[in-house]
Amino acid sequence: MEEDLREYEAFKLTDAFKSIPELLSEPNAENKTLERGKTLIAGLNEKHYTGIQRYTDLQAAIHKFNGNFSSQNIFKFKTNLIEQEAYFQFSEDLQEFVEEDKIALFEKRINELFADIIRQVGKETTDLMSKEGEIETVIKDINSDFIKRIFTGVIKSIELRVVPSENKIVHLLAEIKKFNDENIHEIGASNLFSSNEQTREAKNKTAIHLLSLLTAEIAKYKHSDINLSDTFELEFKVIENDNDTNWVQSLANVGSNGTDVLVKAMINIMLLNVFKEGATKNKFKDFRLHCMVDEIGTLHIENVRGY
């Protein structure tokens, strides 16, 4: 008994003792035991320090988990925890989140939200690419105009054509548009035209994947806009005397520097002719074409008049 009492006096000076005041203030018969005081004190110490270690482990696990989220995360997880009770409450809320599979509910909602974005991107891409027919018509008119108007004998032939754009963002926009057109009733929230739930969820995940790819490409893009000119590439084929450039995207090295400038000038003149004829067909009463003459000194003197 003296040994137990000495152990108890030492125990009263520890943090473990201070953590259990309620057990000492109101003793009751239910807690009566035949165990030695020394044994009970050893058990309390073990529980106390084991609890501290478990709490430390809990804090470390929560900090590691919260490292995946910003303070404004969509799940509303609290990331700035200070009090002990806050850590305990967080662990209870997270356990409920996992057991009730709330992640599936969030995934479903987000999938439906991204489906709306897919539809908007598809619509705007359709509007952007709706000018493709008009562009083809203008190119056709320019090609026809060259046949009708021979500017100089040096240039035997000039031909233009439109080829698909190499812009990765444009490719993704076209893919998103196609996906939206083919799955207009299969993405987003369930509706009367939807097929089974499994198919709809799979389509929604595909929509998110496409948007993720688009986001990644936008992050690498050097410009803030996608313009009509980004949706196609223009190629030229010029025959100058016996020199055939074949299809190229740049009007460099057609011939001499003067010949390069001449070809560019001829294309611009043909474009102006096409616009003039189009304006005439539309019966504009009065219109003007404003153009700038540049690098005229580069041309051979015989071609200045044609310019």
Same domain, 119 and 237: yes
Same domain, 114 and 94: no
- With CA atoms as reference, report the closest residue to 7 among 49, 48, 38: 38
For 54, counting Cβ atoms within 10 Å of its Cβ (0-12 exposed, 13-18 middle, 19+ buried), the class is: exposed
Same domain, 26 and 151: no
Point out the domain boundary residue: 78, 100, 122.
100
For residue 220, what are the domain limits? 109-304
Tell me which range, 23-37, 90-104, 124-138, is most confidently predicted by mean pLDDT. Answer: 90-104
* 209 vs 256, higher pLDDT: 209
The per-residue pLDDT of the chain, averaged, comes to 79
pTM reported for the whole predicted model: 0.52
What pLDDT score was predicted for residue 34? 86
Same domain, 206 and 62: no
Same domain, 95 and 122: no
Same domain, 25 and 161: no
Question: What is the spatial distance between Cα 124 and Cα 176, in angstroms, rounded to a whole number?
Answer: 11
Same domain, 27 and 95: yes
Question: What is the spatial distance between Cα 120 and Cα 123, in angstroms, rounded to a whole number?
Answer: 5
- With CA atoms as reference, report the closest residue to 304 among 123, 84, 151, 106: 151
Domain count, the chain: 2
What pLDDT score was predicted for residue 196? 60
DSSP assignment string, 180-230? HHHTTTTSSS--TT---HHHHHHHHHHHHHHHHHHHHHHHH-SSS---GGG
Question: What is the spatial distance between Cα 289 and Cα 302, in angstroms, rounded to a whole number?
Answer: 25
Question: What is the spatial distance between Cα 100 and Cα 111, in angstroms, rounded to a whole number?
Answer: 19
Q: List, for residues 140-198, the tens digit of each pLDDT value.
A: 888 887 777 665 566 777 888 888 888 888 888 888 888 888 877 666 655 545 556 66
Beta strand pairing call for 243-244 and 232-240:
antiparallel
pLDDT range class, residue 295, cuts 50, 70, 90: low
* 37 vs 251, higher pLDDT: 37
pLDDT surpasses 90 at 57: yes
What pLDDT score was predicted for residue 289? 66
Point out the domain boundary residue: 65, 100, 135.
100
Contact between 221 and 128 under an 8 Å Cβ cutoff? The reply is no
What pLDDT score was predicted for residue 156? 76
The runs of H, that is alpha helices, within 67-131 are 84-99, 102-129
Point out the domain boundary residue: 51, 70, 100.
100
Same domain, 96 and 114: no
What pLDDT score was predicted for residue 307? 46
What pLDDT score was predicted for residue 192? 45
Q: How far, CA to CA in Å, does 259 sit from each of 20, 252, 287?
A: 97, 9, 31
Same domain, 230 and 255: yes
What pLDDT score was predicted for residue 62? 92
Same domain, 266 and 232: yes
pLDDT range class, residue 115, cuts 50, 70, 90: confident
